[in-house]
Chains A and B, each alone.
Chain A
């Protein structure tokens, strides 16, 4: 399979966007508003990356074989994630025993872990300067999202607003991933 990172990112935007929009319009039974919003925001971010970034998946800076494997693994695992998530939400409405519910609820973590593994393998195959760019970007994403949550936590302790814990927790990973993606573009420019 020969696809560029840019095309693959556009494909993923559709994979996230179609169920996201369908969920917003209440066309998918079991897909709640919160999840639909996460999917839609993810789709918008991916579409933005495909439209503005020449090399959204960073395949240009990796050895060709590594880049191709990375794109293939990301498309497969993220598509699997959306499917498993939909199946998991559908099943949660029909399954009662607590242990089974926990397993069904955690099922989407498996494709996410496979995607994380693909990212780690890709990073290990990069050269020393590219690894440094990844490290700096990851550091920036961690600090930005931590500070955002600390700001929210302090304001919430002061009783100024109230965000339910489950909403806050589900956003940590998408936020870190999003800020990481943006930071990578900015950090890489310093070495151009």
Chain B
């Protein structure tokens, strides 16, 4: 799945580790989500959306519709 997580994280000047700390996941998991190698669960996706103060649909996009 494609996502805007990297873009949103960089806009706030956070490192992957710092974002991981805020989401209570490892730096590796943040990296896998950003590179599209791991699709987060719905609860984690909601946590990401809440952290960036937006909705899930504006962060994650299905591969085909991108």
Contact = CB atoms under 8 A, between A and B. Distances in A.
Interface of A: 60-63, 126-130, 132, 188, 190-192
A132 to B, nearest CB: 8
B44 interface: yes
A191 B24 contact: no
Interface stretch (B3-11, B28-36, B52-60): B28-36
Contacts of A63: 24
Contacts of A130: 26, 28-29
Interface in B15-62: 24-26, 28-29, 31-33, 37-38, 40-41, 44
Contacts of A61: 26, 28-29
9 contacts: A60-B28, A127-B29, A128-B41, A129-B29, A130-B28, A192-B28, A192-B31, A192-B32, A192-B37
Given A127-B24, A128-B44, A190 B29 contact: no
Interface residues of B, number: 13
Contacts of A191: 28-29, 32, 37-38
A118 to B, nearest CB: 19
Contacts, number: 40
Contacts of B38: 129, 132, 191
Contacts of B24: 63, 127
A192 B16 CA distance: 13
A6 B52 CA distance: 36
Contacts of A188: 28
A79 B46 CA distance: 43
Nearest to B31: A192
Contacts of B28: 60-61, 129-130, 188, 191-192
Contacts of B31: 192
B56 to A, nearest CB: 16
Contacts of A60: 26, 28
A180 to B, nearest CB: 18
B26 to A, nearest CB: 4
A60 B28 CA distance: 9
Contacts of B32: 129, 191-192
A38 to B, nearest CB: 33
A184 to B, nearest CB: 12
A188 B32 CA distance: 10
Contacts of A129: 25-26, 28-29, 32-33, 38, 40
